[in-house]
Amino acid sequence: MSILVTGGAGFIGSNFILDWFTQSDEPLVNLDKLTYAGNPANLAGLEGNPAHTFAHGDIGDRDLVRQLLEKHAPRAIVHFAAESHVDRSIHGPAEFIRTNVVGSFRLIEETRAWWQKLPQENRDAFRFLHVSTDEVYGSLGPRDPAFSEASPYAPNSPYAASKAASDHLVRAWHHTYGLPAIITNCSNNYGPYQFPEKLIPLMILNALAGRPLPVYGDGANVRDWLHVQDHCAAIREVLARGRPGETYNIGGNGEKTNYEVVRAVCALLDEARPHRKSPHAELIAFVKDRPGHDRRYAIDATKISRELGWKPAETFESGLRKTVAWYLDNPEWVAHVTSGAYRKWIELNYVNRES
Ligand SMILES: NC(=O)c1ccc[n+]([C@@H]2O[C@H](COP(=O)([O-])OP(=O)(O)OC[C@H]3O[C@@H](n4cnc5c(N)ncnc54)[C@H](O)[C@@H]3O)[C@@H](O)[C@H]2O)c1
């Protein structure tokens, strides 16, 4: 038995894999293209673990996907690989269509072709878990009820549209071909190993360097924050007991405005670095808003809680405290992902090899 994970060198994927091996010795194959967001150093702790196989490549490479499926015969696929940054999708949407839509299509289609040839028992037991986002549902008004699994899709950014498209493909492959697929739509994650282009690590690192803390617009955009380890625990539950053909919303009951998030980061840094002359919050700088910036996301996670008994273990306060501590305790990781040497090393070390 083994599972195949895509995008396992990214933020959530690497947290998922590290968690996996704290709970199981079931082999896991990690297919990752190592874009700027993929970082094998996240998985350095697994070096020498024969149960972890790293396969460098693209989910859109059908021959590679076919070979991996035939060689490793996974009992499940957990599909994280994606272009994931909204701002990048605004500047360059093509890569988002290429990976999130076309890449996902090729992955699902190769999976279907391989899965259809399995013995009936293995076909029934197989799972394709597609990891998606709450951004597919669009934006909420201040008093609207939170997104449920029945909320209509209304993606507003190129990123959200590309994820929505891949969700629809997964749904259709279940309904048309019977592929035992499940979709999870999760709110904003934060935690260790998040690339510092995203809000929380960006604020931590800028504040530590005494650089301005750029907050879009009036800072009142609301997101529902979930600690990445709670997301990983939810994915494990869905994989184990989720019903094929279903969608599960995952959220942390942690609605905060961006301004509140940045203030909370600053307060924790004031505590951890008391020698700074002025409070970190003085670095906050409001900047021109992102075009089409969704105002509010909120997740109703009643279904996963009722059916699978999942609940987040962290509050926003406890999770953020741990996250700030992690960035303070891991300056080498930060220096590595922010340096050009990191890209060069990747090119040198990971040119089309499976290890
Ligand atoms: N970060 C969040 O807050 C959040 C919330 C909900 C859902 N999600 C979803 O979870 C998944 C993972 O998000 P993340 O934040 O870890 O992303 P990330 O950008 O940190 O990591 C993405 C990973 O996918 C790899 N990748 C990209 N294109 C690839 C391709 N064509 N072939 C193979 N590998 C490829 C990258 O190298 C990287 O390792 C995404 O599908 C995202 O939409 C993220």
Mutate to test the pocket of ligand 1, among 18, 34, 35 (most ligand atoms within 8 A of CB): 35
Q: Is 77 helix (H, G, I), strand (E, B) or coil?
A: strand
Tens digits of per-residue pLDDT, 77-135? 999 999 999 989 999 999 999 999 999 999 999 999 999 999 999 999 999 999 999 99
Q: For ligand 1, atom 6, which residue shows the shortest CA distance?
A: 133
Is the pLDDT at 205 greater than 50? The verdict is yes
pLDDT at 147: 97
CA of 41 to the centre of ligand 1 (A): 16
pTM score of the predicted model: 0.95
Main-chain phi, psi angles of 210, to 5 degrees: 75, 20
Q: Is 189 in the pocket of ligand 1 (CB under 6 A)?
A: yes
Tens digits of per-residue pLDDT, 329-338? 999 999 888 8
**Contact at 8 Å (CB) between 147 and 140?**
yes
Question: Could you confirm whether 135 is annotated as catalytic?
Answer: yes
pLDDT at 60: 98
Average pLDDT over residues 196-221: 93
Q: Is 228 in the pocket of ligand 1 (CB under 6 A)?
A: no
Catalytic residue among 61, 83, 135, 167: 135
Q: N- to C-terminal Cα distance for the chain?
A: 19
pLDDT at 350: 57
CA of 52 to the centre of ligand 1 (A): 19
270: burial class by Cβ within 10 Å (0-12, 13-18, 19+)? middle
Is the pLDDT at 351 greater than 60? The verdict is no
Is the pLDDT at 281 greater than 50? The verdict is yes
pLDDT at 275: 78
Q: For ligand 1, atom 5, which residue shows the shortest CA distance?
A: 188
pLDDT at 346: 59
**Contact at 8 Å (CB) between 14 and 195?**
no
Question: Could you confirm whether 134 is annotated as catalytic?
Answer: yes
Mutate to test the pocket of ligand 1, among 4, 12, 304 (most ligand atoms within 8 A of CB): 12
Is the pLDDT at 207 greater than 70? The verdict is yes
Catalytic residue among 137, 159, 248, 259: 159
Q: Is 17 in the pocket of ligand 1 (CB under 6 A)?
A: no
Q: For ligand 1, atom 1, which residue shows the shortest CA distance?
A: 189
Is the pLDDT at 35 greater than 80? The verdict is yes
CA of 121 to the centre of ligand 1 (A): 31
83: burial class by Cβ within 10 Å (0-12, 13-18, 19+)? buried
Is the pLDDT at 353 greater than 70? The verdict is no
Token pair of 84 as six digits: 């994931």
CA of 190 to the centre of ligand 1 (A): 13
Return d(Cα 262, Cα 223) in angstroms, integer: 12
Main-chain phi, psi angles of 287, to 5 degrees: -125, 165
Nearest Cα neighbor of 256 from 199, 176, 193 is 199
pLDDT at 352: 43
Return d(Cα 223, Cα 230) in angstroms, integer: 16
Residues in the chain: 355
Return d(Cα 22, Cα 83) in angstroms, integer: 27
pLDDT at 276: 82
Nearest Cα neighbor of 200 from 137, 268, 278, 253 is 268
Return d(Cα 327, Cα 151) in angstroms, integer: 36
Tens digits of per-residue pLDDT, 254-271? 899 999 999 999 999 999
pLDDT at 328: 97
- Separation in Å, CA 178 to CA 73, 95, 103, 140, 231: 19, 29, 20, 33, 26
Can you spell out the DSSP letters for 238-262?
Answer: HHHHPPTT-EEEE--S-EEEHHHHH
**Contact at 8 Å (CB) between 287 and 215?**
yes
Return d(Cα 236, Cα 258) in angstroms, integer: 29
